[in-house]
Structure 1
């Protein structure tokens, strides 16, 4: 049987293939090369001046190209990237046969978090220049990426207290055993155990001190900025929360922010950033029920940005025995500052405001509850009857509810818009965790490269399907992928020179 035969490894070649000839013209590695070469890296904040002591430094463009290529091809580890520099023909071409070591590669990502964020915004500006960001409908959401910190190395006051109580109980047992022991060898072993537990006790007391001094509810020892967060339902992880804002036209993220808190207080900040990036507030923003917070609606109102936020269900503690008597069925009269219940009784406030967790509120009630025939259907309270609480932000919450009811089709687009990048980054690429550790800034650099790689791939794929539109726009004939990459680089270069208005 005949087989296809390979070349003899020992055979010499009269005309050796050059690096340039090894990479086909349609290869995406050429887009990375042209994109990075079009950027003014010193203006973006990458270090470009180095002392003359010791060996010469690598140009930051070399390491930036390496990282973008790595993230596009699901390689993030500095040691793996070091290997690729020596065995991957595409990387050898991209870096012109340079082989930085893993420490140099790792330090580049660690030391340039802010500059990496600016490279991400350069991809956003290219997308805007190609008309891929409409800035009329956007969606926001977050995803949790596991940190390099186990649950075992995350502590709150309750957990530290449990450890201290356990150690104190063990010390009591050891002291009692020491008193009852007659053997010197046995006493020696018990004293070793006592010393070991005393050392552990000092460790937990030190953690308790650090926790109190930090003013935070929890502390992580391996990655200090990471927090124990709810991933979904009752599943928790020590993680970072990555907030993103995505444009609806082509599912392109134009902003991201790495945090260690949940979603409830995030919407206002992300809307401010969106307004600053897009230079407009005429867009509509879609969010899920995790962002349903009165103070954030107030911020959106101040920014004059229309938002559609899913309405969460009423908590079990606030549910009436009969759902028809839930507080949502009580009508508010703005002129008289009163509520009318389904039975026609008027609930009034005493005018006082009370302080809640993050807001102030009024209480409304009526004496008619005492003789109401449907009291058992309305409330379980045996003393005060039905009490309605009205938040200082209630009018903004009601306005949002009206907007959601008026625009059900618009809100249904949210998941398809904002989950697209997450699906690609976490499911297809496997980037479900933060690779770096120690400080949120380093985590932000890791996330930044994820979104740079996503945006560049997304722009390239979209433009390949929009060639005819692009041909008319730039008034040329047939365009290859390499031609497109040249146009992309030109746009980026013109932007850097302030020749394109944004």
Structure 2
């Protein structure tokens, strides 16, 4: 038996005369080319959208945007790796007309055109809406943590800053004493120079720590990530939490397209229901919108705000659980709106006592629990307390929608979790390469744009999409 053998490397051959012949007719790179060529570079605000009249010609921003979209589509995000691909990747040679910009030019484009790249992502969503590719009758919200370019060791709190500042003060005092001993003796000048250099470095570090402490106080925060001040420690559980960003998406449940996304510094999703729902409604220009999310988005104030803006939220209410004993749950107490009071299982009244501003709830207290036969099943203290959320009615309506249609949560899982799985696979498990909120928003926009392009290709085919983009 023989093996399949390749051709002789030194054998002359007649290769296709056109580089276009090497690119498949249904290749995604042709879709990228058609999409970017149809964008208004000047309207997006890209640098060099209009070429300068004098000086050396620069690269067309269309070419650099194509390069980044193609790179993120193929999991090549580093500017140095993109530079190498330009010289060996046939599809990139076709896409860029055999241009090979250096890595600095590539990196500068992503840094200097944050708003324009985000606008390009938005432009594709608008294109999909105009083509009727999604109706946004039901939108699923979800969030996921993406790692920032910083180590957990760089997280600095007030205590850690104070401890390091104390150690540096001791080191500075020791170096000053060493300089005094050098001056008093006849030691070499090189020792004095080394001590002075170390002293200068310690003082510079002490200045940095003072700046961190001042920022902690000014922003009323418990911790900062040194070197990546926009990131926050995020994660579940009681262990250490790595510096991260909270990436939010709103996904059309029917098609799986991401119709809106945002990168936030909120550690949890609790305060993001209304901001994300309102931004999604504006993005799709809908009169009404139904959004479904998990219990992490449960927020009475946001639920009421959504209803006021024509948005129907469907979120399981996240209620506190009484873990102090086997006592009557708050659901056993009946609220009477006419008198703004509660009726307990023993038919006694709990009257309004005070508003708990931080908890956004009202506290009710029983008039008298003495002699009640049900008291052992109700409380250990003298009188029973019950809290009612300030937006209890909105919470109940929101929760009732989910209970009335359990299929909603299955739709949410199928729609919202798949995009994050795909994007995290393309971004090394959900890791940003750049620093600062503005730059990571640019990265997120590229990832979302690439995901949406892939999704539309799967829905209608690359040939059909290319024709619509033309």
User: Given the two structures, how large is their TM-score scaled by the length of structure 1?
Assistant: 0.83
Aligned to 2:228: 223
Query: What is the CA-CA distance between 1:14 and the residue it aligns to?
Result: 4.9
Aligned to 2:68: 67
Aligned to 2:108: 107
Secondary structure of 2:277's partner?
helix
Aligned to 2:57: 56
Match of residue 347, structure 2, among 344, 349, 371: 344
Find the aligned partners of 2:351 and 2:14 in 1 and give their Cα distance: 97
Find the aligned partners of 1:423 and 1:92 in 2 and give their Cα distance: 30
Query: What is the CA-CA distance between 1:313 and the residue it aligns to?
Result: 4.4
Find the aligned partners of 2:205 and 2:108 in 1 and give their Cα distance: 34
Equivalence map 1:10-159=2 (5 Å): 10-14=10-14, 17-47=17-47, 48-52=49-53, 54-159=55-160
Secondary structure of 1:131's partner?
coil
Secondary structure of 2:235's partner?
strand
Find the aligned partners of 1:161 and 1:326 in 2 and give their Cα distance: 45
Aligned to 2:258: 253
Equivalence map 1:451-470=2 (5 Å): 451-464=448-461
Find the aligned partners of 2:364 and 2:89 in 1 and give their Cα distance: 71
Find the aligned partners of 2:250 and 2:239 in 1 and give their Cα distance: 26
The CA deviation string for residues 371-408 of structure 1, in whole angstroms up to 9 with x for no partner, is 3333333224x34x211122322221122222222222
Find the aligned partners of 2:453 and 2:140 in 1 and give their Cα distance: 20
Match of residue 322, structure 1, among 326, 335, 349: 326
Match of residue 245, structure 2, among 209, 217, 240: 240
Aligned length: 458
Secondary structure of 1:368's partner?
coil
Match of residue 405, structure 2, among 404, 407, 428: 407
Match of residue 427, structure 1, among 404, 411, 425: 425
For the structure 1 residues 50 and 211, does the alpha-carbon distance in structure 2 shift closer, same or farther, using more than 3 Å as the test? farther
For the structure 1 residues 430 and 171, does the alpha-carbon distance in structure 2 shift closer, same or farther, using more than 3 Å as the test? closer
Answer yes or no: is the 8 Å Cα contact 1:308–1:403 preserved in 2: yes
Aligned to 1:178: none
Answer yes or no: is the 8 Å Cα contact 2:42–2:50 preserved in 1: no
Tell me the C-alpha RMSD between the 2 structures.
Answer: 3.1
Query: What is the CA-CA distance between 1:485 and the residue it aligns to?
Result: 3.9
Which sections of structure 2, spanning at least 5 residues, go unmatched? 177-184
Secondary structure of 2:346's partner?
coil
Match of residue 317, structure 2, among 305, 311, 320: 311
Which sections of structure 1, spanning at least 5 residues, go unmatched? 176-183, 465-480, 491-502
Find the aligned partners of 2:156 and 2:288 in 1 and give their Cα distance: 44
1:488 to 2:447 alignment: no
Find the aligned partners of 1:146 and 1:15 in 2 and give their Cα distance: 46
Answer yes or no: is the 8 Å Cα contact 1:321–1:378 preserved in 2: no
The CA deviation string for residues 94-145 of structure 1, in whole angstroms up to 9 with x for no partner, is 1010011111111111111211122112221232244331211111011110
Find the aligned partners of 1:354 and 1:151 in 2 and give their Cα distance: 35
Find the aligned partners of 1:354 and 1:72 in 2 and give their Cα distance: 50
For the structure 1 residues 394 and 485, does the alpha-carbon distance in structure 2 shift closer, same or farther, using more than 3 Å as the test? closer
Query: What is the CA-CA distance between 1:52 and the residue it aligns to?
Result: 4.7
Answer yes or no: is the 8 Å Cα contact 1:120–1:448 preserved in 2: yes
Most deviating of 119-128 and 44-53 = 44-53
Answer yes or no: is the 8 Å Cα contact 1:132–1:249 preserved in 2: no
Match of residue 215, structure 2, among 210, 227, 230: 210
1:291 to 2:289 alignment: no
